[in-house]
Amino acid sequence: ADVVVHDALVGERVLELIPAHAERIDVGKRAGQTILQEQISTLLVELGQQGKNVVRLKGGDPFVFGRGGEEALALRAAGIPFTVVPGITSSVAAPAAAGIPVTHRGVAAAFTVVTGHRRNGDPEIDWRSLAAVGGTIVILMGVRNRRKIAAELIAGGLDPATAVAAIQSATTDEQVVGRCQLADLGSIEVVTPAVLVVGAVAAFELSEIRTLVGSQSA
């Protein structure tokens, strides 16, 4: 690659694999740095028009709340060829890293993945309807609104004692798994980035990948 355009959630160990000759452009959205999605799409188009070989590096899967679809549409409109490389979405990777199966026979036959963050003007998530669906609810980007989310799910019929897991910095050395009941979700400390898992499976502790992080294969 000539240029690697990466997000904030891409781990430093991954970034260290980028060849020294490649230009690195950080377009991560975080406190103190706000880059509009339109600016990122424009940047990708401009780099493509310059004939650069560009890697757009994202955490998870680019088409699961990664806004990869918007970037792909911009590239297609500009006539710039691209290839999408599937990733492993944090909505299943984070629970697995915490020993939580999002589905389990006799416990959860389905799971719903939903964003807990909405832009101004976007329709609100109907949490009460989600509560009635059943199965496991996996919430991405929901830490800031977790108190409201919990209240709406309970208002929709979920038992306040429903198990919840908050998986912080999944699959890294800093991975922490917090567990509580749904009624207490708003009061426990959760640090981003974190994935919230709501449902009976959140009480499972089948294994934890944390002990394997940094270990060497035999």
- Show pLDDT as tens, one digit a residue, over the chain (218 residues): 999 999 998 988 899 999 999 999 999 876 556 789 999 999 999 999 999 999 999 999 999 999 999 999 999 999 999 999 999 999 999 999 999 999 999 999 999 999 998 877 678 899 999 999 999 999 999 999 999 999 999 999 999 999 999 999 999 889 999 999 999 999 999 999 999 999 999 999 998 665 444 444 44
190 and 144 belong to one structural domain: yes
How many whole angstroms separate alpha carbon 116 and alpha carbon 190? 14
- On whether residue 218 sits in a domain, the answer given is no
Instruction: Tell me how far apart the alpha carbons of residues 142 and 80 are, in angstroms, rounded to a whole number.
Output: 34
Are residues 44 and 102 located together in one domain of the fold? no
Q: Which of 58, 141, 159, 184 is catalytic?
A: 141
Q: Are residues 201 and 171 in the same domain?
A: yes
Under DSSP, the state recorded for 104 is: B
7 is catalytic: yes
**Which of 23, 43, 77 lies at the terminal end of a domain, its last residue?**
77
Q: Which listed residue (2, 26, 29, 52) is catalytic?
A: 29
- Using CB atoms within 10 A of its CB, is residue 73 exposed (0-12), middle (13-18) or buried (19+)? exposed
Q: Which two tokens stand for residue 201?
A: 């499976």
pLDDT at 60: 93
Q: Is 173 marked active-site?
A: no
Domain that includes residue 199, residue range:
90-209
Both 61 and 98 in a single domain?
Answer: no
Q: Assess whether 26 and 126 both reside in one domain.
A: no
Contact 158, 118 (CB under 8 A): no
Cα torsion angle, 110, 175, 67, 74, sign: negative
**203 located within any domain:** yes
Contact 179, 203 (CB under 8 A): yes
Domain CATH for 146:
3.30.950.10
- Among 7, 61, 148, 159, the active-site one is 7
Last residue of a domain, one of 26, 53, 77: 77
Is residue 52 flagged as an active site residue?
no
The domain spanning residue 9 has which CATH number? 3.40.1010.10
pLDDT for 32 equals 58
In a domain, 30, yes or no: yes
Judge contact between 190 and 166, C-beta under 8 A.
Answer: yes
- What is the value of pTM for the model shown? 0.89
**Lookup: tokens for 82:** 């691209």
| Whether 66 and 123 share a structural domain | no
CB 110 within 8 A of CB 133: yes
Are residues 34 and 114 both part of a single domain? no
Overall domain count for the chain: 2
